[in-house]
Structure 1
Amino acid sequence: MKYESNTTLQVAAQKMRVARKVVVTTHAKPDGDAFGSVIALCEVLKRQQTDVTALFMPPIPSGLKNICGELKLTTYQDGYELPEADLYVVVDTGAWSQVAPIREQLEKYLDKTLIIDHHISGDIPAAFKHIDSKAAACCEIIAKFVDELMAHVFEDKVVSNALYVGIATDTGWFKFSNTRPQTHELAARLIAAGVDHAALYAQSEQTERPEKLKLMIRALSSLELLNKDSAAVMVLRKADFTETGALPEETERFVDIPQVVSSVQVVVLICEPLDDSPIRISFRSKPGKNAVNVADLAANFNGGGHTRAAGAKCDGDLDEVLAKVKNLLTA
């Protein structure tokens, strides 16, 4: 199945206008871009008197919850049933593996499901897809949608803050190679509308627990440099989480740290789950003439993402997964 747009922004926006009840969701363990995309879109739909559900599959990073204003959030739990709706919108992913808890229910409504995404791969056969893989963040696309849906939309503090957090976090606060002129232009519009970017950075990036630092030490202690120091691999085992008291979601940004070494072109972080869930693998690479397409690496584990940032989830033995990753990096 080719993962590409079949619906224009204008047509998709019209579907939202006429829908009386809309469910908006994103991938499990939402990052800033996923969370911001849901919040911005739901806030605008709410203001247009749409009955909207903002559905999240936990965990939700605590630093993000301050940007949702008075918007009610629905957190998925075992036994949750998707409400009947006129339209189901999935943002920042098009992969079944990332919405696994609701897959069985969502499959019943694919004929009225819209995907809005910026990734290069996905396998959810939704009836409507609006994909822009050149966008630095899904919030770049959502900004166009809310602009289409409501006049003076950036004057809404919840919307503008959510969009800014989305584009900032998905570009590493404008450091990553996916940052483009349109990203800075949107950031400028949002700041001009009143976004306090320094306060949002503090809320999003400087509210961590001491346990995260302890886990970071474990990750760096596990680091191996391979292939003439061009590749770095880190592993976090179940014991690392239990002994430090850190949570699985507190690994955010760890995979970026080894890129400070000039010779390192690609980084992989492998995390063993605390329960029976799959092993999580995160991939990152630097741009340049020796750039590694990490989406191709992730595909070896049925994952995907972007050329410079990708991920995968897989079952199996941790050491076997580690060995496979090393083989790929040294091939």
Structure 2
Amino acid sequence: MNLEDIKAVGNLLAKPQKIVIVPHKNPDGDAIGSTLALWHYLKNRGQEVRIIAPNDFPKFLKWMPGNEQIMNFERENSQSKTLIEQATIIFTLDFNHLGRIGQMEPVLKESDATFIMIDHHQAPSDYAQYMYSDVLMSSTCEMVYNFIEFLGDDDKITPEMANCIYTGIMTDTGSFKYSSTTSRTHTIVAALIDKGAENTKAHNLVYDTNTPTRLHLLGCALKNMVILKEYNTAYITLSQDELDTYDYQKGDTEGFVNYGLTLHGICFAVIFIENKEEGIIKISFRSEGNFSVNEFARKHFNGGGHTNAAGGRSDVSLQETTEYFISLLKDYKTQLNA
């Protein structure tokens, strides 16, 4: 964020505002952690501020301080619309295109509020008046820490804020193993622990609260894994029937796609998940090295994200989607075998 924008945002926040904070649809740890940390910060500055999420978020994130204050646009539609209409500032966190917020998109497009984007994904759109966009950042939570520091308030980070920011960084870096984890990331994490982040507790509450049905679903997913050695690729499919059999709950498939990359020699891993309610196949892509799943998802599956982690979707059947996916790989054989 440049100095001019920092001063402008600082001047805005020096006055009483009606603020709404919005994460992307199906919010993950980084989205929830960053919005909650910013909510605590702005509330402590005396601002009138609410978080409105497009839909629900996983149970393993519902321990974070303030999570009960997050409104669900699907369930609290009328009240959410009123708050958005009244907002003077709207922060959008962990996404950079209004298409990522589902049915909230037309409501936000009608708003006259000042938009402030904080995000680390590629190819941002231009809906925000003030943009803090940096694809080199490990997470939006790391950027929220920087944002608070830009405003000269890092000494005002409370234990509640520290726990939220820590959790978002932890989840979006794969517990600090992804290449986006820098020395700066670790410096911030150390500062967060000093400020009250309970790192062991956060890890346990996010990763060690499995249900038997989730582990059974993981077993089903691993049994369904297909390995395409010719392309150093592995993919997993989960049908709606399989999800129903194992009592799928939101967030249960989080991290499943990464198991493909634990196989020796595999550099491209994908999971295809059928969602009959929405009539789509949800897709997650992961890679190692220089193979850009962001470009792959944008070109073929109406998606995008980061170089090594992206998402997409398909409007045809699970079988048709996987067949199409396999047909594409021959064009990427050289890259996948580099």
- TM above 0.5: yes
2:128 corresponding residue in structure 1: 126
Q: Is the 8 A contact 1:44 1:149 kept in 2?
A: no
Task: Write the letter of the residue equivalent to 2:12.
Answer: K
2:301 corresponding residue in structure 1: 301
1:322 corresponding residue in structure 2: 322
Which TM-score applies when normalising by structure 2? Answer: 0.90
Task: Write the letter of the residue equivalent to 1:29.
Answer: N
Q: Is the 8 A contact 1:258 1:264 kept in 2?
A: yes
Alignment of 1:101-250 (within 5 A): 101-109=103-111, 112-123=114-125, 125-147=127-149, 148=151, 150=153, 152-154=155-157, 156-228=158-230, 230-250=232-252
Whole-angstrom CA distance in 1 between matches of 2:212 and 2:72: 26
Superposition deviation, residue 208 in structure 1: 2.1
Whole-angstrom CA distance in 2 between matches of 1:110 and 1:130: 20
1:277-327 deviations in Å (ceiling 9; x for gaps)? 43211000112xxx3100011112121100010001332222221112212
Q: Is the 8 A contact 1:110 1:127 kept in 2?
A: no
Task: Write the letter of the residue equivalent to 2:133.
Answer: I
1:39-94 deviations in Å (ceiling 9; x for gaps)? 00010111111110111223311121211248622111253415111101100001
> Are residue 62 (structure 1) and residue 59 (structure 2) matched?
yes
Superposition deviation, residue 134 in structure 1: 0.8
> Are residue 29 (structure 1) and residue 29 (structure 2) matched?
no
Whole-angstrom CA distance in 2 between matches of 1:294 and 1:34: 21
1:33 to 1:110, Cα distance in 2 relative to 1, 3 A: farther
Task: Write the letter of the residue equivalent to 1:191.
Answer: I
Q: Is the 8 A contact 1:29 1:59 kept in 2?
A: yes
1:41 to 1:297, Cα distance in 2 relative to 1, 3 A: same
Secondary structure at the residue paired with 1:126?
Answer: coil
Whole-angstrom CA distance in 2 between matches of 1:312 and 1:301: 5
Whole-angstrom CA distance in 1 between matches of 2:2 and 2:248: 39
Task: Write the letter of the residue equivalent to 2:138.
Answer: A
Secondary structure at the residue paired with 2:14?
Answer: helix
Whole-angstrom CA distance in 2 between matches of 1:327 and 1:195: 47
Secondary structure at the residue paired with 2:181?
Answer: coil
Moved segments of 4+, more than 4 Å = 4-7
1:310 corresponding residue in structure 2: 310
Whole-angstrom CA distance in 2 between matches of 1:19 and 1:293: 43
Q: Is the 8 A contact 1:13 1:149 kept in 2?
A: no
1:267 corresponding residue in structure 2: 269
1:86-111 deviations in Å (ceiling 9; x for gaps)? 10110000123320120010001266
Superposition deviation, residue 128 in structure 1: 2.6
Q: Is the 8 A contact 2:269 2:287 kept in 1?
A: yes
Whole-angstrom CA distance in 1 between matches of 2:277 and 2:107: 23
Whole-angstrom CA distance in 2 between matches of 1:285 and 1:89: 30
1:285 corresponding residue in structure 2: 287
1:144 to 1:319, Cα distance in 2 relative to 1, 3 A: same
Whole-angstrom CA distance in 2 between matches of 1:82 and 1:220: 45
User: Unaligned stretches of 5+ in structure 2?
Assistant: 332-338
Superposition deviation, residue 38 in structure 1: 0.2
Q: Is the 8 A contact 1:35 1:166 kept in 2?
A: yes
Task: Write the letter of the residue equivalent to 2:26.
Answer: K
2:17 corresponding residue in structure 1: 20
1:327 to 1:185, Cα distance in 2 relative to 1, 3 A: same
Percentage identity across aligned positions? 27
